[in-house]
Structure 1
């Protein structure tokens, strides 16, 4: 219905390729300018690789509790196995192959839908033109009815902590490690730092986590982060709270992390998880009238519009909420808006997210922090997983389900799940939040017995108030 409209998308990550598919579906002519590979960092260096690595770590976590379930692991001589070792070279080879294969699959889908992919680096020449420095050395200028910027972000580094790609690493460089590190220092206790620290701990590596805050995952539910920290330290992780990194240096095979109070921590390797910076430099934003904030992130509204008419932005370059799912939704919303389809503005209170640690932490909607700050009035119920029959069968001792409901109506407005596969268990809570279901409605849906999801229904039942 919009045949002839030309949409140019700068960036091939989730915000880019998902918006391209929507635009093509709605009849637009679509060109994607891709610099680093279709799928972007989410597929090639971040989400897909890290979660593939974590899949191996999850298996190791399950194996570590095998004896509790009555499974004895023996080596070839018949003696009890003293250790199950990971071939990190093979793990990383699988990680990189899976990421590359996923990128190829997405590229094929774009080709099937008639999307043109141009390899090169794009730059705005105003709000309706994109100059492309082609990967093969040429150049091309694309006229556009609309432009979507989806250039992503890159790992933040500091002058005092420069990665060398060998022993001082960003999270994008860890997949080149062929041998298991003797010891690992992770600097940063946000989502990325916590995930890598948890994963490498499960792989049998001595891990020290340096946190500048008073707890791990300071942006997550406090009860959830307390469970994760207790489990991690029980399994052998060293957590240095309220410890700010001053510098990271390397001498031979030893990496030294110096803290601002003068203490030092040494390891064979160090992962820097210091946050992200947007890839917005030299994009021609100022000339095109596209505003950025003090951090360099592109400013967008809830339908992904920038300050320049006809220019949209999606994903990590906007700094809205750095999740692949949010990037994809921002991109879809942009195309629905520009091409005249039905569109609802982005609602971050309906976004579910997950921290892929052991145990996982999944959240959706309003948080405990918001409730305690008085931003919303809620009734709260928290149900430990330890009483769940399926959890007992699987040897799960840690974790909980927490629900937030509006007083009076009982409408579910948020939730937290901590436990194995919390990323899957949060879905019924996400549906409840998205559709404004009540706790009673959530409770009355059948769950399988025994199942972990039964704890979600049980928590909802505990919210019931007798009417009348």
Structure 2
């Protein structure tokens, strides 16, 4: 009989933790998972999933406008936010229930409560129902508690909301300032604008979407402006103040703005506070992230961490892959490090962004001579109805080897297209092999295999 209650105990029932727990339990090992909220983590509860439903909802007015352009006598009508909000939460709850059920079906124990480490192999759990805390022991421990929204120290910061609050608003505001320039800020700017909210996006830097290719950033900015989103760069609030008609936001340059709601979407930080990691010797990075090696092992041999809590690549599919690699390493005697290079990703902005591989600036910084292929065009659907939105595509190609190093797209269906492009980039295919692939016509994606005009950088 084992000297421990569990072979594996997981802190957090998000995507990475759940995958690791299920796979381990399916090996016939004893697994426990602690979760202080519902199962599913950020992605299911207050991230990718409910946000994508909001994106779909916000697209309807534009789709109705397209319908009229194609001859349909369509009218948009009014948007019922409470009805949508409640339906969205109902779907989130359904998915959370599936996550929980799958854990139990695999043979794992799901313990509802806040968990923290009390010793190298001891976990204390404070039940969510208020019952007395209790302790369990585990041979191996996996930290998979994800992240939480970050709001900088600004006077009046308690007046702002975060992305966690966006799905539970009691009503749609008439006007909103969104502070930030990353994925979350840009996505919510498109959503709120599409739902008819006067939307201002404030970013302290020079261009939104800082890590992305510079031409992608410029194109997204231009297209968002066409849709009526008011983007202010080099803009940062210094104070928020409640006034009769909303919230007065004072910027660092003295500019004052009044809106109904202020959303801070200034990133997320690892959710490590209060877990007791330091007392058992688990080292943290400067940002509070759990420090791990390539196989996700912490500074303590039997304690591992996966997902956003490690602040490596904070994407749901990455957390899942890290969870799989953890099981291979610890329970199958097959040390496995997930390859974080060349991960395709999408921003569900309006317009959508898809990207994989190197940006032009990254390639040049690495001393690689590259050929750059770009295309800008109005999609067929847009042209037919007289629209002005344009799609942008870009290939970064190694001048010497002809290998495609980066693929970038802004426009409809970018996320769907970049998934397939990601396979080609991961495989190291050359531009000649892309060109040898017959185009599917008429599509936007065919542009990627017909690009000819180039410049060298």
Alpha-carbon distance in 1 for matches of 2:42, 2:289:
17
Decide which of 160, 165, 183 is 1:191's aligned counterpart.
Answer: 183
Deviation at 1:453, TM superposition (A): 2.2
Q: Does residue 50 of structure 1 match 2:51?
A: yes
Q: What's the CA shift string for 1:91-149, capped at 9, x where partnerless?
A: 21122111111111111211221121111111123332222222231333222221110
Decide which of 151, 157, 160 is 2:154's aligned counterpart.
Answer: 160
Q: Hey, what does 1:107 align to over in structure 2? A: 100
Q: 1:260 to 1:279 in 2, by over 3 A?
A: same
TM-score computed with the length of structure 1 as normaliser: 0.89
Q: Hey, what does 1:40 align to over in structure 2? A: 41
Deviation at 1:429, TM superposition (A): 1.2
Deviation at 1:178, TM superposition (A): 3.3
Alpha-carbon distance in 2 for matches of 1:46, 1:350:
23
Decide which of 69, 91, 95 is 2:84's aligned counterpart.
Answer: 91
Q: Hey, what does 1:31 align to over in structure 2? A: 32
Question: For structure 1, which segment, 126-135 or 11-20, has the greater mean C-alpha deviation from structure 2 after superposition?
Answer: 126-135
Q: Does residue 332 of structure 1 match 2:324?
A: yes
Q: Hey, what does 2:115 align to over in structure 1? A: 122
Q: 1:161 to 1:68 in 2, by over 3 A?
A: farther
The secondary structure found in structure 2 opposite 1:178 is coil
Alpha-carbon distance in 2 for matches of 1:428, 1:277:
31
Q: Hey, what does 1:16 align to over in structure 2? A: 17
Alpha-carbon distance in 1 for matches of 2:213, 2:79:
32
The secondary structure found in structure 2 opposite 1:265 is strand
TM-score computed with the length of structure 2 as normaliser: 0.91
Q: 1:6 to 1:298 in 2, by over 3 A?
A: same
Aligned length: 449
- What are the ranges of 5 or more consecutive residues in structure 2 without an aligned counterpart? none
Q: Hey, what does 1:78 align to over in structure 2? A: none
Q: 1:162 to 1:145 in 2, by over 3 A?
A: farther
Question: For structure 1, which segment, 88-97 or 24-33, has the greater mean C-alpha deviation from structure 2 after superposition?
Answer: 24-33
Q: Hey, what does 1:141 align to over in structure 2? A: 135
Alpha-carbon distance in 2 for matches of 1:431, 1:179:
42
Decide which of 332, 348, 351 is 2:343's aligned counterpart.
Answer: 351
How big is the alpha-carbon RMSD for the aligned residues of Structure 1 and Structure 2? 2.4
The secondary structure found in structure 1 opposite 2:33 is strand
Alpha-carbon distance in 1 for matches of 2:36, 2:116:
11
Matches for 1:318-467 after TM superposition, within 5 Å: 318-340=310-332, 342=334, 344-374=336-366, 376-386=368-378, 392=383, 397-459=389-451
Q: What's the CA shift string for 1:329-349, capped at 9, x where partnerless?
A: 222222211113545423222
The secondary structure found in structure 2 opposite 1:172 is helix
Q: Does residue 132 of structure 1 match 2:125?
A: yes
Asked if the contact 1:350/1:364 (under 8 Å) is kept, the reply is yes
Alpha-carbon distance in 2 for matches of 1:26, 1:118:
20
Question: For structure 1, which segment, 195-204 or 450-459, has the greater mean C-alpha deviation from structure 2 after superposition?
Answer: 450-459
Alpha-carbon distance in 1 for matches of 2:334, 2:70:
52
Asked if the contact 1:129/1:142 (under 8 Å) is kept, the reply is yes
